[in-house]
Structure 1
Amino acid sequence: MPPSSSERRPAMKISLASIALAAFTRVVSAGIPDKIYGVNLGSWLVLESWMLPQGWLDMGGQSCSDCSQCIATEFAFAQAYPHTVDNVFDKHWTTWFTQDHVDQLQAAGINTVRIPLGYWLVEALVDRNTEFFPRGGMLQLARGLKQLKAAGIQAILDHHALPGVQTAGQQFTGRCTSDVQFYTDYNYHRALVWTAVMTAVTHLHSDFGSVFAIEAVNEEIMDASQTPGYGDFQKNFVKTVRATELALGISVPEAKLSLNVDASVNFTSAIDAAASTSGNNIFTSEVKAALKAAIPILVEVSNQLGMGFDLEASLHSREPLVTTFMDINWQFNSPANPADAAIGPQGYDNHLYYSFGGVADANPNAYLESICNLNRVQADAALGNSPLWFGEWGLPTQFNATDDFLFKWADAQKLAYSQGKGWIFWNFNVESSELAGDLGRQWSYLEGLKRGYFTRDPSQVHDRHVCDPYKANTTSISA
């Protein structure tokens, strides 16, 4: 998440579906960690130019105070440089996240990464007449996941940038614009197709074996009155994941399906048979449309990844993915409760940045009093939003923080977020350059390790009593 001043295809023949499904190697799935100690791989497959100011200029991008008015995002870059964008971004993807970074994260005890992804990763979903993005990201994702899997680091696939843009004026959506169109039937459908494709690829591609969760939407608009239909989308998102898994023969808690069709041989027939099953409320019209649209795209993705055939392996050892949403307290104005959408394992994500204001007064004591009395985990659990993890947080402040304070600030946040399922720092790394200045001091986990703000063992802190002077004697204070 960047610093901010504001908040159709028709189904194809069965034989093609068989090819798509056969083109992946079956794998044993990852389980959710007992406690998440993680980092985001931000600005890798969804580039946020504020995190690499010099690198972005070197690529050919621009910097401006209003990111909608210059080449500050992937959309604007691809629109400006249609003939070179793919090669330029391939170089960025290759160098921004490397085997050396994986080795450093493994040595630091990180057990989880959250990988921000744009809808354009599934290239067939992009309308090339009106939408402009680089191509080739799926290959890079597979490369990175293979390296992470070898290191024993598990992954969350985070749909960070949605079709139509889910939040105005943000680099993390891939396009800075005030014209927010995600909350429409057309783009809800495209997001569900993305979900079906990524669920299938996750279960069928060997390099994706460490993925345990898929997140529906990163940071939807906070005002629920501006997100019409989002509650229905949440339910359809879960049903799309579960329908895909059921069609693949994966056992899903709270959902059963008996088919006479072998999904490893004929995915289309499996979907059709499941969809016609009487009394099954998972295969809604929206879900069926998404699954059918996903079939030809899986053919393309299998060709893109160049996978071989493995018809004999079984999918039955796979665990269902943990469907994930921003927690109910992310929105106001009577939001839908994502807990109402749950079918099988589900997790909840909250992001907390004090540097953007609205949480505590801009001074060290107020920050520590707030975080040391945080009751978000308990408040969410009371509404069924458990397990909760904090998928984005950082060390930035609204005041000039001393090193002594940052030691305390890191400890206090880790202790607060570990009351839940755990934490995922934003970001694993940022650019080190004269133009970036001291950006890494408060935004880079790897830099924080070097400076000693973070302990070498992420489960530990420097001072377990850091919050003792700040804890309220009675009712906890909610952030």
Structure 2
Amino acid sequence: MELGTVHGVNLCGWLVLESWVTPSLFASTGAFDEEGLRQAVGDERYAQLVDQHRERFITEQDFRGIAARGYNAVRLPVPWTAFTEKADGTPSTLDYVDQAFDWAELAGIKVLLDVVVDPDGAAKPGEQVEYIATTSRFRPRVIGASTSLAERYAGRSAFLGIEPLNEPVVQKRTGLTMSAGVPVHVLRNFYRDCYDAIRAAAGSSPVVVLSCAGRPDLWNGFMASSHYRNVWLDLHLYHYGQSVDGAGPAGARKLVERSRRDIARARRSGLPVIVGEWSSALPVSAATLTPEGLSALERVYAAAQIEAFRSTTGWFFQTWKTEAKLSAWDARVALSSFERGMFD
């Protein structure tokens, strides 16, 4: 099926648990992430909770709803351990990914797989990517996970492509100090190796999506040779944590202009640019508005963001579904008043 410009939603909190998406799973445990939940409730109860959640949180009805609203793709976070089969006969992660492809094909939408890595709790908080990209223990396993996923779904008509690493953090120099993160040259080499492995396993059709690692200015000319085909650069555009000189619509317009500038920087890479994650969440200062005023401003902001994204290959809103129907993050709420034609 032809895709054209991507207008999609993320499926966060389904196969990779996130407490902000489904807080009820974490209630009364003191945990804020998936590994913390496992430690808090024990392996047996954790497995029960995860299986029950995966059966109920996203269903075929959600895929039908996504297509009915005019979206043509989903971005599906998948844990890098998806190929670690369960021995007890209960569904594995891959069973649910298989099901997602079945539902996507019935609904007529595409699937972008996004590999999420947590290296067995071996890394300190905030250091996961450094372990992945720089140590011999994890690097081959991450590349292998992406390659195996690409090979498994290469023949599926719904398969758009794969993003081999979600939100890496690169080093940044400030004066004489260097921040924590992956050296840029190491991440570039990692991406090249991922590309070659995915192409060898799945051919040239799947898109290989590379996170810009929060630095859209670092990729000029990267993978510019004819050896590399069907590669996109992923830019995440959140502004809720930023300060802005202005309130109301004027402040929102300034945030949208920041998006435009970041997109322009990313496009100088020469690669097609995709906005893999964005929301209509505004800076904390907007909380001084009434609930009705905030809701109206979020919609104005979302519409302006979508307009700014017209120079890209497309976007994925963050996310399709949250347990509490968070107004700025749940597409069923944030984009509920948008007509299908606004995505064209």
Normalised by the length of structure 2, the TM-score is 0.83
In the TM superposition, what is the alpha-carbon distance from 1:366 to its structure 2 partner? 2.5
In the TM superposition, what is the alpha-carbon distance from 1:72 to its structure 2 partner? 2.3
Deviation track 1:405-464 (CA, whole Å, cap 9, x = no partner) reads: 1221111000011221111100101013xxxxxx521110012244x2x3344416xxxx
Q: Retained in 2: the 8 A contact 1:156–1:212?
A: yes
- The secondary structure found in structure 2 opposite 1:146 is helix
Q: Give the aligned partner of residue 109 of structure 2.
A: 153
Q: Retained in 1: the 8 A contact 2:318–2:331?
A: yes
Q: Give the aligned partner of residue 6 of structure 1.
A: none
Q: Give the aligned partner of residue 227 of structure 1.
A: 182
Q: Give the aligned partner of residue 181 of structure 1.
A: 131
In the TM superposition, what is the alpha-carbon distance from 1:185 to its structure 2 partner? 2.1
Q: Give the aligned partner of residue 322 of structure 1.
A: 207
Q: Percent identity?
A: 19
Q: Retained in 1: the 8 A contact 2:168–2:213?
A: no
Distance 1:362 1:223 in 2: 31
- The secondary structure found in structure 2 opposite 1:440 is coil
- Flag the 1:198–1:143 CA change in 2: closer, same or farther, 3 A: same
Q: Retained in 2: the 8 A contact 1:49–1:56?
A: yes
- The secondary structure found in structure 2 opposite 1:103 is helix
Distance 1:396 1:187 in 2: 34
Structure (1 or 2) with the greater strand fraction: 2
2:8 aligned with 1:41, yes or no? no
2:314 aligned with 1:455, yes or no? no
2:29 aligned with 1:137, yes or no? no
Q: Retained in 2: the 8 A contact 1:328–1:335?
A: no
Deviation track 1:339-397 (CA, whole Å, cap 9, x = no partner) reads: 35862211111001111226x3463313313314613333222222x211111000111
- Flag the 1:94–1:139 CA change in 2: closer, same or farther, 3 A: same
- Flag the 1:383–1:98 CA change in 2: closer, same or farther, 3 A: same
In the TM superposition, what is the alpha-carbon distance from 1:182 to its structure 2 partner? 1.7
Which of the numbers 56, 62, 73 marks the counterpart of 1:95? 56
Deviation track 1:69-103 (CA, whole Å, cap 9, x = no partner) reads: xx322223334421232232111011111122112
Distance 2:241 2:229 in 1: 35
Distance 1:361 1:168 in 2: 36
Distance 1:166 1:349 in 2: 27
Which of the numbers 54, 62, 81 marks the counterpart of 2:29? 62
Q: Retained in 1: the 8 A contact 2:210–2:234?
A: yes
Structure 1, unpaired ranges of 5+? 1-29, 64-70, 127-133, 171-176, 253-319, 433-438, 461-479
Which of the numbers 136, 143, 150 marks the counterpart of 1:192? 143
Deviation track 1:212-249 (CA, whole Å, cap 9, x = no partner) reads: 1100211101426631422211110000011113xxxx
Amino acid at match of 2:57: W
- Flag the 1:82–1:390 CA change in 2: closer, same or farther, 3 A: same
- Flag the 1:166–1:406 CA change in 2: closer, same or farther, 3 A: farther
- Flag the 1:357–1:164 CA change in 2: closer, same or farther, 3 A: farther
Q: Retained in 2: the 8 A contact 1:35–1:422?
A: yes
Q: Give the aligned partner of residue 363 of structure 1.
A: 247
Distance 2:240 2:122 in 1: 22
Count residues with an aligned counterpart. 321
Distance 2:165 2:131 in 1: 14
- Flag the 1:459–1:324 CA change in 2: closer, same or farther, 3 A: same
Question: Bigger relative contact order, structure 1 or 2, given CA contacts below 8 A and separation 6+?
Answer: 1
Q: Give the aligned partner of residue 278 of structure 2.
A: 393
Indicate the RMSD between aligned Cα atoms, in angstroms. Answer: 3.0
Q: Retained in 2: the 8 A contact 1:182–1:188?
A: yes
Q: Retained in 1: the 8 A contact 2:17–2:33?
A: yes
Matches within 5 A, 1:159-308: 159-163=115-119, 169=125, 181-183=131-133, 184-204=135-155, 208-223=156-171, 226-228=181-183, 229-245=186-202, 250=203, 252=204
Distance 2:55 2:303 in 1: 33
Which of the numbers 428, 437, 442 marks the counterpart of 2:320? 428
Amino acid at match of 1:414: I
In the TM superposition, what is the alpha-carbon distance from 1:145 to its structure 2 partner? 1.7
Q: Which has the larger radius of gyration?
A: 1
- Flag the 1:357–1:241 CA change in 2: closer, same or farther, 3 A: same
Which of the numbers 303, 325, 330 marks the counterpart of 1:444? 330
